Structure 1
Amino acid sequence: MLKRPARLQVDPETITDDDKPPQTGTVFNIWYLKWSGGDNTRNLIKLKFRVNIKNDTGYTKAGTNSPICLFFARGCCYQGRKCNYAHRIPTDLDYYPPTQDCFGRDKTADYKDDMTGVGSFNKINRTLYVAGIHTTKNVELVLTRHFEEFGAIEKINVLHGKACAFITYKLESAAQFAKEAMLNQSLDHEEILDVSNDS
């Protein structure tokens, strides 16, 4: 049970249109943080916000089986304790329907071609593909430090010389959370991570 109220991660007055990716389509979907109705170019722009699990976790108006707040995972929920979604990382005690991710978004029958999106309800996927890594020393330790706060990691496989890695979590929901929390973030340098499902 969470003992303190969730804090505001950002002041709603400070959120501007500059926090959206550049327009590549006709409609901006705040839920998926992307444009639709145009080309499928993936724009990697470092986000201004990042979740701090230790400081940001707290109770909200969410019920016992409520999904996790997607904006909490991205570090930009402006509702705090008034949010209708949970402000915490997923645990092994949580139940999420097989057709939804931990954020309550509906999965699809097949993965998207670029492996972005919510994922498939036909396969449990606990592994993330992380590209854009600039670190060359102690890569496994750096990845562990940045990704382990979202859940227990089973293994990390770094492809040295290719600037990418595969991170496998014990829980599928932890992988889902980490994907949203670390997409367009940095490790210890100014790189911008591209995080997607691996299947």
Structure 2
Amino acid sequence: MDVPKRRLIWDLVQGGLSEESFIAQFGANPRTTPEIVRVELEESLTERSTDNLRFALILAFRFGLSRQWAPLLCKLMGEDWHHSHEDIAGALQDLRFPVTIDCLYRTALRKHDYLAYNDNESLAIKCIWALHDIGTPEAAEKLQRLSQSDLSARVREKALKRLSALAVTRPGDPVPAYRRARDQKVRPDWDLGGSQRDK
């Protein structure tokens, strides 16, 4: 992604540019052409570009996420050259795709020097919330493991709390407001077989 495109994205998120003007100047609409974001994510990985990754994620959050990107996001999550792990965890929470369970679990246990200021707790907690929102028995099992891990007491407590919340959730319960808001970020037309969304 070249510098002019990054400037356009920055102007858009700062409110200095309307979405219509952004699309006209950018040359394509990421909402209707999701390949734009996928290509930028792939280039970020190939080039190990922190800036590219940051701006590609901004586009993804602004114009919609696709479950088709989940394996790519998990690859990026396993890399140490960037500082976007928490943003990627947020994207995976929005997607709620069971294939990301192992990735989220491994990430919750990893340590990054740049997150040492809080002992990596914020990233681990984001992963815990993502596992909770996936909500499958496999996700619950990972939450159970995290609640008994050698992570900090605060992280273990959060894992146990999210696990307990899953235990009292029944089919037909209303969808929490925060999840409804997150669902709006995922484009169903980019989904992998829409009927699998909450499985």
Normalised by the length of structure 2, the TM-score is 0.28
Structure showing greater Rg: 2
More strand by share: 1
More helix by share: 2
